[in-house]
Amino acid sequence: MPAANSPKAHWDIFCRVVDNFGDIGVSWRLACQLADEHAIAIRLWVDDIALASRFSGAGHESVTLMPWTEASSFSHAAEVVLETFSCGLPPAYQQLMSVNTVWLNIDYLSAEDWVSGFHGRPSPQANGLNRYFFYPGFDAQTGGLLREQFLPQLAEQAGRSATAAWQHLGLTAMPEAINVSLFCYAHAPVSALLASLAASPQPVRLIVPETLAPLVAQALSQQSLVQQALASQALTAGQVIQHQHCNITVIPFLSQIDYDLLLALCGLNFVRGEDSWVRAIWASKPMVWLPYQQAEDTHLQKLAAFLQHYLATASDELQDLPRALMQAWATGEWTTAHWNSFIEHRQALLQHAQHYANQLSQQPDLATKVVIFIEKLRANRV
């Protein structure tokens, strides 16, 4: 691939921040990968520039964050425009687009069967342009998953020198404990999870981002009168609470790469939505995914579709446990028995997670598929 510091193309990406992290998380990762691995300069237009800046950290020399407001003006349209999650393009920007502009809508990730049938389809617009739907997915007939070339190095770092990796994250290694990361929506049965970890037959360290600290504090207050006194105080980054057999550690907001490292270090990862879901897959560790809650339990259909894919090559004896864990977490029916079942079968679950990630990694990644898709569109126009 060409060097990232000598870009040969200029693309625009548009992103609206809907659920605080997922949309911008995916958009920033995609922008950086296109710059790093495909030598493309990116303008990333975001309607929440403050949150985007938290993700960007020190920034990227080939990715420019642009504030997207009602008052935004545009000097020109890029040769390729990526609209993320059907956020819509500004009318003023569309007026600058020509018939040669390639317009892709990078939509939400799902394992449902219909995705492959809609992936890559054009949608003619009133202005004469075609808007193509690009669906991420889990098989070769979809747009694939975000997967950067540096991910194997992170996994190697976590395995080779776990103590140093924990120190890099500002934490001490706890080899005697099962390290568990928690990232979830507010409807997750956090109180039940804390109860199960408190009664764990093995020590547990639950690593909680500061953004979820209020949710954990509320759940703690439901555990006992003793914990109510602790939970009445605001939980902040760096704070540690010992809740029977569970060490609860609150951490600050992590960069995306540091979050990837955390997932690789933990023995179990609770994740949600889209961005952390995919990162947990590449961490090759057991995970419990929580889809975004939707009316009429549509999110449970999405969960069932993913489990069918995730467990397609699992042994018969391993089929039931991941399904039971994720369904219990998504429906609010988590119990101590679920945690104890995880402990009993954690080695088998780890081996399956590693096999699944290795199997998926044989497919081209999403950024590469976007580039190939656009090249084919251009070739067909000539």
**Active site amino acids:** 23, 274
CB 270 within 8 A of CB 185: no
CA dist., res. 217 & res. 188, Å (int): 14
The tokens describing 145, both together, are 């998953």
CB 81 within 8 A of CB 97: yes
CA dist., res. 98 & res. 127, Å (int): 9
The tokens describing 235, both together, are 């939980």
Tracing tokens 């809650």 back to the chain, one arrives at: 293
Measured between alpha carbons, how far apart are the two ends of the chain, in Å?
24
Phi-psi region of 85 (alpha: psi -120 to 50; beta: other; left: phi over 0): left
In angstroms, what is the C-alpha Rg of the chain?
A: 22
The per-residue b/e assignment along 129-142, b for 16 or more CB within 10 angstroms, e otherwise, is bebbbbbbbbeeeb
Q: Is 343 exposed, middle or buried (0-12, 13-18, 19+ CB in 10 A)?
A: middle
